[in-house]
Amino acid sequence: MEKSEGRSIRCLVTGAAGFVGSHLCERLLTLGHAVVGVDNFFSGRPENLEPFGTHPRFFFHERSITEPLLLRDLSAAHGPFDAVFHLAAIVSVPYSLDHPEETHQVNYVATVHLVNEAEKLGARSFVFAGSAAEYGTQERMPLREPDAGSWTLWLSPYGEAKYRASAAVASRRGALRGVSLRCFNIYGPRQDPSSPYSGVISRFVDMAVAGRPLTIFGDGLQTRDFVFVDDVVEAYCRAALLENDAESPPCGIYNVGSGRPTSILDLARLICRLTGRPESITFCPERPGDIRHSTASVEAAQRDLGWAPRVGLEVGLKRTIQWMQGEKPIRGAKPVPMSMESR
Ligand code: UD1
């Protein structure tokens, strides 16, 4: 396959107004590519589009990935896509428990339809946002890609739908290459701390910056694998062959994490130190359904994508804190202005 590096290609990013999707759009534009973004603002936020919303190579459509004709309409309007980055999804695990059928439709059925359409319309790569939730409950760490399978005990419809969608995407190995990135606990600027189910780092930083005690669910000795959003964006670009010189094009499923476990208690202490707050921590009952440990093996991504996490936890936290201190997220923001739609 011809390499995309060095020439401008046309990319579709679903979930463009989301935390990760917005960073990905920005990077693709910086690399010189044309980007069509789609978001229905179910969980994405209009203000995430502001840093690049008026870029001449960015086009935005407020539409849903469940619309059967979405890809056809967008291809007709902008021309065929070289690469599709599919990040739009129901992202809340608790929501998925309350709405299993909707989660199945949005996170699995719509993904299969989108990858089929992308293949028919001549796209060459399809990169999907998989999740560590695909592993369900596991004892052995670090988690390697084959550790998730049809035997897995998923903890939520979210985990099961992501697993099935990843498998469907990763089986594409023809003219269209499918890659699923199983991302672990992503953090960084633009992550919304306002929901009780927001990522722990965004919540802790929000609490510390506001001078409130940090609330730990359980004993704090549970561990997670925290990966900075810029590293995740790099993995997306490499998966679509935008930035690497891999001999053979990658396809399949890859973990994207730091490869290091961090306990929630150590995380809380570090955030207190970095924000210059006294160590003020409250312990609350353990959250139902919480897994105990989660650490990625990132050997496969290193081998096939030439990717490695570069931003250490302390550096990533400093950047997140700086953003949270300087640019408080706007809660309950209004939909995107008309001028940014469907250009
Ligand atoms: C994360 C994903 C989830 C995915 C799962 C798969 C996020 C936001 N969620 O969940 O989509 O299904 O990985 O493994 O990335 N905690 C506190 N205090 C708080 C908030 C959280 O102690 O205020 C604890 C939680 O109880 C948990 C840990 O921090 O033990 C991490 O929580 P969270 O950031 O919500 O992520 P996961 O539960 O790992």
Radius of gyration of the chain from its Cα atoms, rounded to whole angstroms? 19
> Hey, which of 92, 185, 190, 226 would you mutate to test ligand 1's pocket, going by the most ligand atoms within 8 Å of its Cβ?
185
Does residue 4 have a pLDDT over 60? no
- In the reported structure, the alpha carbon of residue 200 is separated from the centroid of ligand 1 by a whole-number distance in angstroms of 6
Active site residue 158: yes
pTM for this model (two decimals): 0.92
Does residue 61 have a pLDDT over 50? yes
Q: Is 200 in the pocket of ligand 1 (CB under 6 A)?
A: yes
Residue located nearest, by CA, to atom 19 of ligand 1: 200
Pick from 206, 237, 197: nearest CA to 325 = 206
Q: What value does the mean pLDDT take over residues 68-92?
A: 97
Q: What is the pLDDT of residues 36-48, one digit of tens each?
A: 999 999 999 999 9
Does residue 310 have a pLDDT over 50? yes
User: Which pLDDT does position 341 carry in this prediction?
Assistant: 34
User: Which pLDDT does position 327 carry in this prediction?
Assistant: 64
Q: What is the pLDDT of residues 199-238, one digit of tens each?
A: 999 999 999 999 999 999 999 999 999 999 999 999 999 9
C-alpha to C-alpha distances, 72 to 62, 108, 155, nearest whole angstrom? 15, 19, 35
Q: Is 202 in the pocket of ligand 1 (CB under 6 A)?
A: no
User: Which pLDDT does position 251 carry in this prediction?
Assistant: 74
CA 340 to chain centroid, in Å, comes to: 23
Q: How confident is the model at residue 338 (pLDDT cuts 50, 70, 90)?
A: very low
Q: What value does the mean pLDDT take over residues 251-278?
A: 96
Q: What value does the mean pLDDT take over residues 331-343?
A: 33
C-alpha to C-alpha distances, 46 to 52, 117, 173, 334, nearest whole angstrom? 11, 27, 35, 7
Q: Is 215 in the pocket of ligand 1 (CB under 6 A)?
A: yes
Does residue 242 have a pLDDT over 90? no
- In the reported structure, the alpha carbon of residue 163 is separated from the centroid of ligand 1 by a whole-number distance in angstroms of 18
User: Which pLDDT does position 6 carry in this prediction?
Assistant: 63
Q: Is 199 in the pocket of ligand 1 (CB under 6 A)?
A: yes
Report how far residue 300's alpha carbon sits from residue 250's, in angstroms, rounded to the nearest whole number: 10
Q: What value does the mean pLDDT take over residues 168-181?
A: 94
User: Which pLDDT does position 2 carry in this prediction?
Assistant: 36
Does residue 340 have a pLDDT over 50? no
Q: What is the pLDDT of residues 103-124, one digit of tens each?
A: 999 999 999 999 999 999 999 9
Pick from 113, 73, 111: nearest CA to 89 = 111
Average of per-residue pLDDT values in the chain: 91
Report how far residue 86's alpha carbon sits from residue 210's, in angstroms, rounded to the nearest whole number: 34
